[in-house]
């Protein structure tokens, strides 16, 4: 089966030099789909489902499947694949012991979601990870209160590695117009004549500090790719459906339409802080981006990581081997004395002049129906969030 490459566009090369496409088509798909009905089936978790999509569509190029043991061990210990290519997060397929012990090497299995066949995997590796070591290396903690660590420890004790072929589409029902593959974003960047593109990762609504970082970056490049993560997140994160409405309204009112593209990032959130920042950068390189915004506590949670650890980790790689340029920004705020957005690099005033609201305080205001100050967030965004909080409170109190 051919892994067909898109035509050259003059954009940045994918990670490893080749954009992966593991989506079966035509007669080969029909054959594999029929074959899948005869194979042992492993039901995917939400995280494994997201990883499958990222592998199949090239978001995780150069991976062609779930990691075997050699790549896994190398990534955990050294943040590199076994061939030396930078890679920071293990992309593995956990399985129950009872299922794994029925398999042999080179066996084929079907990966399912809600009992529907999605992919066929050829098993090249069956191995038992040291999850405590994986947690300490990848998450910098083995504290089960960390959401990424909790998900790791809750997953199956055996990992299966091997290449995959997607035989049915991932069953999405939302954000369909924004579900762009790397091949599609690269084609759109080329159509717009963009050669330099900055990516912005977010799992939160865009507030004024985010807007400031994006627009500073946009002064330096041809285009901005706003790429919010819509895979699995923590229960207390703002739901993706609400966040997407905020992105649509702020981009339509405050950004030049011909210089911004909105597309969703299907990965699951791991909250791995610095290591996840590297993975997020590599994925955006595969989408065709040349630059990547890394702000305060990127992909962090709680107080597990230092404020700017996610920026410092990029120093572990040379610019040539990583291939995408991180734009490292200080925490931004509105300064009442300056009368504009600023950071500590540009503002001489003390904290009393700065408008800074914690996430907890903002959520409390929204629950009370209070509008956060416009120096913190655009009124259009605040209105969407207030309505969402009211609806959530109404639902929790039994309202229709």
Residue 162 DSSP code:
E
The whole-angstrom separation of Cα 220 and Cα 329 is 14
User: φ, ψ for residue 36 (rounded to 5)?
Assistant: -60, -30
Residue 232: per-residue pLDDT = 67
* Residue environment code for 108-122, b if the CB has 16+ CB neighbours within 10 A, otherwise e: bbbbbbeeebbbbbe
Residue 237: per-residue pLDDT = 73
The whole-angstrom separation of Cα 327 and Cα 198 is 9
Question: Own/partner pairs for 312-315, CB < 8 Å, 24+ apart?
Answer: 312/274, 313/88, 313/274, 313/275, 313/277, 313/278, 314/277, 314/278, 314/281
| Cβ-Cβ contacts under 8 Å for 160 (sequence gap 6 or more) | 42, 66, 93, 95, 100, 103, 109, 121, 123, 125, 126
CB 233, CB 269: distance < 8 Å? yes
**How many whole angstroms from its chain centre is CA 385?**
22
pLDDT, one tens digit for every residue, the chain (400 residues)? 545 454 545 789 999 999 999 999 999 999 999 999 999 999 999 999 999 999 999 999 999 999 999 999 999 999 999 999 999 999 999 999 999 999 999 999 999 999 999 999 999 999 999 999 999 999 999 999 999 999 999 999 999 999 999 999 999 999 999 999 999 999 999 999 999 999 999 888 888 999 999 999 999 999 999 999 887 677 767 888 999 999 999 999 999 999 999 999 999 999 999 999 999 999 999 999 999 999 889 999 999 999 999 999 999 999 999 999 999 999 899 999 999 999 999 999 999 999 987 767 787 888 888 888 899 999 999 999 999 888 876 544 333 2
SS3 at position 363 = helix
The whole-angstrom separation of Cα 400 and Cα 288 is 44
Residue 394: per-residue pLDDT = 58
Burial of 4 (0-12, 13-18, 19+ CB in 10 A): exposed
**How many whole angstroms from its chain centre is CA 49?**
13
In CATH terms, 15-166 corresponds, of 3.30.540.10, 3.20.20.70, 3.90.1150.200, 3.10.400.10, to 3.10.400.10
Strand spans (E) along 37-104: 41-43, 65-66, 93-95
Residue 152: per-residue pLDDT = 98
Could you tell me whether strands 41-43 and 108-113 are parallel, antiparallel, or unpaired per DSSP bridges? parallel
User: φ, ψ for residue 197 (rounded to 5)?
Assistant: -135, 130
Strand spans (E) along the chain: 41-43, 65-66, 93-95, 108-113, 116-122, 125-127, 158-166, 197-202, 223-228, 260-262, 291-294, 325-328, 333-335, 340-342, 354-355
Which has the closest alpha carbon to 120: 196, 181, 61, 44? 44
Domain ranges of the chain: 15-166, 194-396
Give me the residues paired with residue 228 across strands: 202
- Which residues have a catalytic role annotated? 203-204
Domain 194-396 has CATH 1.20.1630.10: no
């Amino acid at each position: 089966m051919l892994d067909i490459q898109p035509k050259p566009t003059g954009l940045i090369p994918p990670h490893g030099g080749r954009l992966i496409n593991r989506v079966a088509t035509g007669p080969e798909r029909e054959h594999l789909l029929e074959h899948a009905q005869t194979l042992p089936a492993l039901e995917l978790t939400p995280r494994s489902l997201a990883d499958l999509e990222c592998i199949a569509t090239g978001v995780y190029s150069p991976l062609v499947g779930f990691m075997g043991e050699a790549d896994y061990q190398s990534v955990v210990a050294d943040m590199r694949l076994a061939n030396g290519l930078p890679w920071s997060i293990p992309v593995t397929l956990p399985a129950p012991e009872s299922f794994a012990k029925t398999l042999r090497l080179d066996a084929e299995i079907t990966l399912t979601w809600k009992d529907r066949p999605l992919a066929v995997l050829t098993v090249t590796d069956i191995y038992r990870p040291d999850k405590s070591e994986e947690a300490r290396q990848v998450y910098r903690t083995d504290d089960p209160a960390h959401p990424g660590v909790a998900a790791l420890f809750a997953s199956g004790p055996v990992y299966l590695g091997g290449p995959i072929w997607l035989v049915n589409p991932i069953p999405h029902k939302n954000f369909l117009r924004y579900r762009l593959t790397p091949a599609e974003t690269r084609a759109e960047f080329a159509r717009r004549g963009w050669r330099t593109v900055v990516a912005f990762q977010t799992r939160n609504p865009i507030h004024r500090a985010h807007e400031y970082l994006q627009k500073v970056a946009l002064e330096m490049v041809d285009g901005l790719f706003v790429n919010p993560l819509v895979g699995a997140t923590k229960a207390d994160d703002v739901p993706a459906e609400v966040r997407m409405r905020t992105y649509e309204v702020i981009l339509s009112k405050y950004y030049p339409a011909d210089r911004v593209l909105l597309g969703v990032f299907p990965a699951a959130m791991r909250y791995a802080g610095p290591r996840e920042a590297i993975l997020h950068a590599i994925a955006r390189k595969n989408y065709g981006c040349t630059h990547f915004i890394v702000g305060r506590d990127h992909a962090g949670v709680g107080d597990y990581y230092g404020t700017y650890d996610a920026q410092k980790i990029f120093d572990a790689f040379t610019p040539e081997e990583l291939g995408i340029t991180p734009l490292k920004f200080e925490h931004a705020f509105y300064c009442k004395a300056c009368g504009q957005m600023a950071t500590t690099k540009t503002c001489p005033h003390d904290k009393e002049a700065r408008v800074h609201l914690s996430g907890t305080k903002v959520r409390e205001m929204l629950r009370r129906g209070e509008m956060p100050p416009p120096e913190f967030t655009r009124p259009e965004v605040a209105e969407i969030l207030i309505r969402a909080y009211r609806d959530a409170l109404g639902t929790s109190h039994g309202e229709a």
